[in-house]
Amino acid sequence: MKEKPNHYEKVKKYHPEYMEAVERLGNTTKSGPLNEKDAQLIQLAASISIRSEGATHSHTKRALEAGATVEEIRQTVLLLTNTIGFPSVMAGMTWVNDVLG
């Protein structure tokens, strides 16, 4: 992720060991057979499912960086409809579109 919110940097300044551990945990996408793009799309779906706008923004950016197309990202969101419901999918699509434009 290239840009981090100001509060992220503030927490990192005051709690560096904690943030190092969190950042290492983020590297678990490299620990199995899934490629980075698919891992980011799964994490994007999970972010929307827990209604986390910030994580949705982050994983949308990361999915793009990993080679996901706009169409793949949007399909990932729409596939959630039967699982989390239309209103949650529409909220998630709004957050995805914040990044996609």
Which amino acid is present at 14? Answer: Y
Report angle CA 69, 29, 4 to the nearest 5 degrees: 70
Report pTM.
Answer: 0.81
CA neighbours closer than 13 Å in the CB half-sphere of residue 20: 5
Give the helix ranges, DSSP H, for the chain.
Answer: 6-14, 16-25, 36-49, 53-65, 70-78, 81-84, 86-100
pLDDT score of 8 = 82
String of b and e for 84-98 (b: at least 16 CB within 10 Å)? Answer: beeebbebbbebbee
The stretch 6-34 carries a mean pLDDT of 86
Give the domains, in start order, of the chain with CATH numbers.
1-31 (no CATH), 32-100 (1.20.1290.10)
Residue 22, pLDDT > 90, answer: no
